[in-house]
Chains A and B, each alone.
Chain A
Amino acid sequence: MVSVENVSKIFPAPFSFSGLFCPRSRDRCAAHALNGISFDVAGGESLAILGPNGAGKTTLLKIIATLVLPDSGSVTVAGLAAGSADRKIRSLIGFVSGDERSFYWRLTGRQNLEFFAALYGLSKQATRSRIEYLLDIFCVDYGDRRFDSYSSGMRRRFALMRALLHEPALMLLDEPTQNLDHASADMVRCLIRDRLALGNNTTVIFTTHNLQEAADSAQRFLILDKGRIAGTGTLDALRRQAGEPGADLDRIYLKLTETHVP
Chain B
Amino acid sequence: MIRQILAFLKKDLLIESSYPLSFFFDIFSVLTSVVSYFFIDKLFGGRMAPQLEEFGVNYFSYVLLASAFFSYVGMGLGSFAGQLRQEQLQGTLEAVIAAPTRTAVFLFSMAAWNVLLATIKLLVFIIVGISCFRIDFSRANVFSCLAVLVLAVTSFSALGILSASFVLVTKRGNPLSWLISSAEGLLGGVYFPVTVLPAWLAFFSRLLPITYAIRAIQYACFRGSSITELLPQLVPLLIFAVVLLPVSVKVFSLALCRARANGTLAQF
Contact = CB atoms under 8 A, between A and B. Distances in A.
Interface of A: 9, 11-12, 33, 59, 62, 65-69, 71, 87-88, 90-91, 93, 95, 97, 99, 101-107, 111, 114-116, 118-121, 162
Contact of A102 (B4, B91, B261, B263): B91
22 contacts: A12-B262, A65-B98, A66-B98, A66-B260, A67-B260, A67-B265, A69-B261, A87-B100, A87-B102, A88-B100, A91-B100, A95-B98, A99-B94, A102-B92, A102-B94, A104-B92, A107-B14, A111-B11, A118-B3, A118-B6, A120-B100, A121-B100
Contacts of A65: 98
B199 interface: no
B96 interface: yes
B183 interface: no
A119 B14 contact: no
Interface in B10-32: 10-11, 14-15, 18-19
Contacts, number: 85
A253 to B, nearest CB: 26
Contacts of B102: 87
Main secondary structure of the interface of B (DSSP, over half): helix
Contacts of A69: 257, 260-261
B101 interface: yes
B95 interface: yes
B7 interface: yes
Nearest to B98: A95
A90 B98 contact: yes
B97 interface: yes
A99 B14 contact: no
B266 interface: yes
Contacts of B14: 106-107, 111
Contact of B266 (A97, A105, A111, A115): A97
A114 B95 contact: no
A68 B8 CA distance: 24
Contacts of B131: none
B99 interface: yes
Measured as residues with beta carbon below 8 angstroms from the partner, the interface class of chain B is: 20 to 34
A99 B91 CA distance: 8
B90 interface: yes
Contacts of A103: 92, 95
B97 to A, nearest CB: 7
Contacts of A118: 3-4, 6-7
Contacts of B4: 118-119, 121
Nearest to A97: B94
Contacts of A95: 98
A59 B3 CA distance: 32
A101 B263 contact: no
A137 B95 CA distance: 23
A99 B266 contact: yes
Contacts of B97: 67
Given A67-B97, A101-B92, A119-B96, 16 more contacts: A33-B263, A65-B98, A69-B257, A87-B101, A95-B98, A97-B266, A99-B91, A101-B90, A101-B91, A103-B92, A106-B14, A106-B19, A107-B14, A115-B11, A116-B95, A119-B7
